[in-house]
Copies of this chain bind each other. A is one copy, B any other.
Amino acid sequence: MFNIGVDLGGTNIVVGLINNNYEIVDKLSTDTRRERTSSEIIKDIATLCLKLIEDNNIDMSNISSIGIGSPGTCDPIKKIIMKSANINFENVHIEKEMHKYIDLPIYLENDANCAAYGEFKAGAGRGSNSTIIITLGTGVGGGVITNGNLLTGSHFMGGELGHMVIKANGRQCACGRKGCLEAYCSAKSLVEIAEKVAIENKDCILNDLTKNDLATSSAKKVFEAYDLGDKYIKKVIDEYHLNLSEGLINFINIFDPEIIVLGGGVSGRGDKLINSIRKEVENGMYTGAKLKCELKISELGNDAGLIGAGILYSRI
């Protein structure tokens, strides 16, 4: 049997054929053209799903379900996309709309939760019963699985892991509060903090690496400056590691997960990132270094959301 995953984004719609081993067999995509109405966009999703099935010569009876990962707030029980910042969806009954074109069970979940669920079932968290996924991207997002269950919250708004204040009255966060984990540990925040240091210190290597055009700096370049031994950036990255550690220790004390998976752009740094924070995290845990909480890098990367959407049927 196969399932179809849909990753509905502000830029692209991606649909994937997922087999029973939680692997992507084939995928198709199209531009979202997000200025369109929800009906137009959903028609495209359905068309893409049907084409994917046809392309792969699969009989409809061998497709179990379609799972949709959507940005914004989703009600997975009523199958309603309540609100999305990136696309013009407001209280869209996605199951009803999809059933105009395809008669298959429809599952729905927020995209960040889909990515977390994918990583939990098929990626770095597989085999565990509790995993926390933290995405260090433009923002800091994530998802939580405890007792094998995806934590959604009573209004489907839980899991906003990036908006945990770790420094009251600290750096301004886009959410309105000051000192959120996101305000220190997103790729965007890291770049902003490093840029400021590079402006203040003309001999900071980041100026060279960006050919004196700091607008072209990125988390990758900041880590490059760090690896080259720049003393200013060393301070920035040391602080980054400490702040990330504070956040992770908080999550361990709250959830006691088996595994924490780091995803998003910054996680491209791989084991270097984990090796830089492991000791700090172990020493900070409430019970000392006694808990076995594995720190891992995302295995599914950008596919986590698509796979997670495709296997939503397996939720308990």
Binding site for B on A (CB under 8 A): 128-130, 144, 146-147, 149, 151-161, 163-168, 170, 175-177, 242-243, 246, 249-250, 253-258, 283-284, 286-288, 291-293
Contact = CB atoms under 8 A, between A and B. Distances in A.
A256 B154 CA distance: 6
A250 B165 contact: yes
A67 B250 CA distance: 30
B284 A158 contact: no
B146 A151 contact: yes
Given A168-B242, A254-B160, A254-B164, A291 B155 contact: yes
Nearest to A162: B253
Contacts of A176: 283-284, 288
Nearest to A167: B168
Given A146-B153, A167-B167, 9 more contacts: A153-B255, A156-B256, A160-B256, A163-B253, A167-B168, A168-B170, A168-B246, A177-B284, A254-B254
A284 to B, nearest CB: 6
A160 B287 CA distance: 10
B258 A154 contact: yes
Contacts of A254: 144, 158-161, 164, 254
A160 B130 contact: no
Contacts of A255: 151, 153, 158
A129 to B, nearest CB: 6
A253 B177 CA distance: 12
Contact of A250 (B128, B164, B170): B164
A130 B149 contact: no
B168 A291 contact: no
A176 B285 CA distance: 9
A241 B144 CA distance: 28
Contacts of A243: 168
Nearest to A259: B154
A165 B249 contact: yes
A283 B293 CA distance: 34
A79 to B, nearest CB: 18
Closest 4 CB pairs of A and B: A153-B256, A158-B256, A160-B253, A154-B258
Contacts of A129: 154
